[in-house]
Chain A
């Protein structure tokens, strides 16, 4: 028996309950045929006592709801599911925006935004113009001025999801004012809008994003889209890559294969700091420019092992057959990662690389080099090994 069963003895739910004799409870509605004669002479204290467990449970639930509200609140998931269909139809142009606005106004704002989250990644930017101006959007615009940084950040994220161009000036102010959490959320929202002034501000104020992780910054800059690539190249050209945001820009240039950045990247590879050289070597691998091969071969002797790793990787990606002897020499490197990447790069070079690997596996005096070469050859024999990614 649980609390609900105990509470059932109170007749305020319109039912009376009594034991059927087999230990089970049966319930009958109280009505004209059933006057409810189980307890014909109720006393106030007995009723109060019987109601105590139910009241305690209700009070407990209320305390729990207040102190530890569910996320999402009860009922929101169902509303969100219904709104998701309406939203998808509206964005596809199959239903009028007014219907969605009416339905969204009747539902919890969280339900509307949960529906937006579900469809956001599959919707092109201009399709959001069909959304109109439903109530929850106006609420979030107001919340961009909220005192709480969390509230501003959440509002920025939501407005970014729906590509709300009308909010761009306010989002820029939120981004510039900080703190870090709002800067990132607003920057991501503006990146979805492809907002060029926001990108310029980010590149000119590296201190604002200094605390963020590299992956996070790369994701942020990638969100600005291919149109932002020249601005990134210009920033790297002018400012080098000392700050986190500029290092992320170097990574993005590599990911986008921006050949116009070749000169800047080569200069970074030679003159930059350790992190800049690592990022430049990695980016040069993505560029596919064979002009980078001589400097990458030089970078195989860099005193920073992470640079040697990325140089080996880039040479493999570029198919630099002329680098095979130097890569084979790196099979003896004291750092495991360099040996591993050198072996993988040789494996990617075709016949020349294979011969270098076979020679190392057969006759290298260094056991680690022989092991690594043998492993790479085994991978070649089985099937092309899945390129494992090193952050």
Chain B
């Protein structure tokens, strides 16, 4: 009986269901790729028309607060802050929120920048005892270091927000480097339209030694995955004014809108939850295209250790938490139909897609192992999941060339195109497993692996003054 079980499953409704799920996922991805192509073309035209020089005309650029959350030893913090201070932008400040276990990081910053205690009245309520001290540098008035008791990412970002001076606030992860012109590219949508309240950047995986082919296969696959998430999914949803998840850990927000929406909540992925609340707020006020993705604004990060499993798990948990807290996007009749469609698609991505992918792969392997490799399920699944997945990744490579070309033509594209053939069967099962674990943790409400400094429980959120 057991050797025949895979074949029986493949011939009956479970097999059909898995094929339908894979087909639906592929169809969705291809639709998003088409929408992303339209959006990339629109962006390209706008880029040619953009009068960027106007931004540098004295008072016209909206000033920006760059917020960086540091926890742990903070190796590389000094270099990151230095690189932030050299950004090409007319008016900005850098607020570094150093978490409770980041004394070493604060020490490094103090030694490098000659920090001294300063006073700055917060513009929103901060929980008592959270801020241990404020530090500034006499020769760098645009730098502020906020030393925090054990806070966690959300509370640290809220504390940074309370001390931010400027109307736009950029959040970014430690280890993420911005290109010099990224801030200008991100601020342009705010300059051009009053409706915009958030803009996300495209994150890229940095190339050690500058040669794509010398990098490990895993890092190249991560590159492909990042391109797919940013350019196919991100740009695709942005084209339909339904961007709920900013794919990169770099985003520029309108500070007052963030504070009015309640700031960052203590969830596994606070930015996703915030963007959904901002979308709700924008929809209530009739603001269209309020959340944008700027593919031309590029940030870089190192490849994740261990295939990025912890990151995928955390983000999946965060996505499901954010969907749960923002279910009004689906159920509230005041919101547009496209928000409901996007919500369902995100719910599908968050809850079912990883399980369907893994189940399909497992059934295919079981069929081959039990000598039933000739069954139609096997080649149909390979065609949909493998060839279809590769097609979507190739579309992402094409979008990279059109929207934010940083790879060398044609050798990097050729190398990555070859990798795209293998990636659906090598990298994606690992990612799907990590996402499934994250989904299960969210559903079972078990805390996942968090940074040691993170505290749990509900937090008081900053309120608008």
A, B: real partners: yes
Residues on the A chain within 8 Å of B411, using CB: 2, 4
Contact B57 A337 (CB under 8 A): no
Query: Which parts of B237-260 form the interface with A (CB within 8 Å)?
Result: none
Q: Mark A125-159, 1 if CB is under 8 A from B, else 0.
A: 00000000000000000000000001001100100
Residues on the B chain within 8 Å of A64, using CB: 397-398, 401, 413
Alpha-carbon separation in the docked complex, A188 to B50 (Å): 11
Residues on the A chain within 8 Å of B397, using CB: 64
* A375 in complex: contacting residue of B59, B120, B402, CB < 8 Å: B120
B396 to chain A: closest CB distance in Å?
Answer: 10
The yes or no answer to B310 lying at the interface (CB within 8 A) is no
* A213 in complex: contacting residue of B48, B194, B213, B465, CB < 8 Å: B194
Q: Mark B187-215, 1 if CB is under 8 A from A, else 0.
A: 00011111000000000000000000100
Binds A, one of B96-104, B338-346, B414-422: B414-422
Contact B121 A213 (CB under 8 A): no
A333 to chain B: closest CB distance in Å?
Answer: 9
The yes or no answer to B281 lying at the interface (CB within 8 A) is no
Contact B49 A154 (CB under 8 A): yes
Q: Mark A196-237, 1 if CB is under 8 A from B, else 0.
A: 000000000000000011111011001000000000000000
Contact A71 B123 (CB under 8 A): no
The yes or no answer to A50 lying at the interface (CB within 8 A) is no
The yes or no answer to B60 lying at the interface (CB within 8 A) is yes
The yes or no answer to A166 lying at the interface (CB within 8 A) is no
Could you pull out 27 A-B pairs where Cβ atoms are within 8 angstroms?
Answer: A57-B414, A64-B398, A64-B413, A67-B398, A68-B40, A68-B401, A70-B401, A70-B402, A70-B405, A74-B409, A153-B49, A154-B49, A157-B48, A181-B49, A185-B49, A213-B191, A214-B194, A215-B61, A215-B191, A336-B123, A336-B124, A340-B123, A375-B120, A378-B118, A378-B119, A389-B59, A389-B63
Please, which residue of chain A has its CB at the minimum distance from the CB of B411?
A2
The yes or no answer to A94 lying at the interface (CB within 8 A) is no
The yes or no answer to A383 lying at the interface (CB within 8 A) is yes
Binds B, one of A169-177, A293-301, A366-374: A366-374
Alpha-carbon separation in the docked complex, A74 to B408 (Å): 12
The yes or no answer to A363 lying at the interface (CB within 8 A) is no
The yes or no answer to B167 lying at the interface (CB within 8 A) is yes
The yes or no answer to A92 lying at the interface (CB within 8 A) is no
B116 to chain A: closest CB distance in Å?
Answer: 9
The yes or no answer to B54 lying at the interface (CB within 8 A) is yes
Alpha-carbon separation in the docked complex, A336 to B411 (Å): 55
Query: Which parts of B149-202 form the interface with A (CB within 8 Å)?
Result: 165-167, 190-194
The chain B residues found within 8 Å of chain A, CB to CB, are: 37, 40, 44-45, 47-49, 51, 53-54, 57, 59-63, 91, 93, 118-121, 123-124, 138, 141-142, 165-167, 190-194, 213, 394, 397-399, 401-402, 405, 409-411, 413-415, 417-418, 465
**Which among A219, A255, A335 has the greatest number of chain B C-beta atoms within 10 A?**
A219
A380 to chain B: closest CB distance in Å?
Answer: 12
Contact A385 B141 (CB under 8 A): yes
Contact A383 B49 (CB under 8 A): no
Contact B191 A216 (CB under 8 A): yes
Q: Mark A61-94, 1 if CB is under 8 A from B, else 0.
A: 1001001111100100000000000000000000
Q: Which 10 A-B pairs have the closest CB atoms?
A: A68-B398, A336-B465, A219-B54, A336-B123, A371-B121, A68-B402, A375-B119, A68-B401, A372-B121, A150-B45
Alpha-carbon separation in the docked complex, A334 to B51 (Å): 39
* B119 in complex: contacting residue of A157, A334, A374, CB < 8 Å: A374
Question: In the complex where A3-B418, A219-B51, A388-B165 touch, is A339 in contact with B121 (Cβ < 8 A)?
Answer: yes
Please, which residue of chain A has its CB at the minimum distance from the CB of B50?
A157
B379 to chain A: closest CB distance in Å?
Answer: 21
Residues on the A chain within 8 Å of B62, using CB: 215, 391
Contact A218 B60 (CB under 8 A): yes
Question: In the complex where A2-B411, A255-B59, A378-B118 touch, is A388 in contact with B166 (Cβ < 8 A)?
Answer: yes
The yes or no answer to A32 lying at the interface (CB within 8 A) is no
Residues on the B chain within 8 Å of A378, using CB: 118-119
**Which among B61, B166, B398 has the greatest number of chain A C-beta atoms within 10 A?**
B398
Contact B53 A371 (CB under 8 A): no
Alpha-carbon separation in the docked complex, A68 to B410 (Å): 13
* A67 in complex: contacting residue of B37, B60, B63, B417, CB < 8 Å: B37
Contact A219 B402 (CB under 8 A): no
Contact B121 A382 (CB under 8 A): no
B422 to chain A: closest CB distance in Å?
Answer: 15
The yes or no answer to A121 lying at the interface (CB within 8 A) is yes
Please, which residue of chain B has its CB at the minimum distance from the CB of A184?
B49
Residues on the A chain within 8 Å of B190, using CB: 213
Question: In the complex where A60-B417, A215-B191 touch, is A391 in contact with B121 (Cβ < 8 A)?
Answer: no
Alpha-carbon separation in the docked complex, A188 to B48 (Å): 14
Residues on the B chain within 8 Å of A215, using CB: 54, 60-62, 191
Q: Mark A96-111, 1 if CB is under 8 A from B, else 0.
A: 0000000000000000
Query: Which parts of A301-345 form the interface with B (CB within 8 Å)?
Result: 334-337, 339-340
Alpha-carbon separation in the docked complex, A387 to B186 (Å): 23
Alpha-carbon separation in the docked complex, A378 to B138 (Å): 11
B259 to chain A: closest CB distance in Å?
Answer: 10
Contact A382 B138 (CB under 8 A): yes
* A3 in complex: contacting residue of B44, B63, B192, B414, CB < 8 Å: B414
Contact B119 A371 (CB under 8 A): yes
Residues on the B chain within 8 Å of A374, using CB: 119
Residues on the B chain within 8 Å of A391, using CB: 62-63, 167
Contact A71 B405 (CB under 8 A): yes
Residues on the B chain within 8 Å of A390, using CB: 63, 167
Residues on the B chain within 8 Å of A213, using CB: 190-194
Query: Which parts of A176-197 form the interface with B (CB within 8 Å)?
Result: 181, 185, 188
Please, which residue of chain B has its CB at the minimum distance from the CB of A369?
B121
Contact A71 B51 (CB under 8 A): no
Residues on the A chain within 8 Å of B120, using CB: 375
Alpha-carbon separation in the docked complex, A385 to B45 (Å): 40
B179 to chain A: closest CB distance in Å?
Answer: 17
**Which among A188, A368, A386, A388 has the greatest number of chain B C-beta atoms within 10 A?**
A388
Alpha-carbon separation in the docked complex, A374 to B397 (Å): 54
Please, which residue of chain B has its CB at the minimum distance from the CB of A378?
B119
Alpha-carbon separation in the docked complex, A60 to B194 (Å): 41
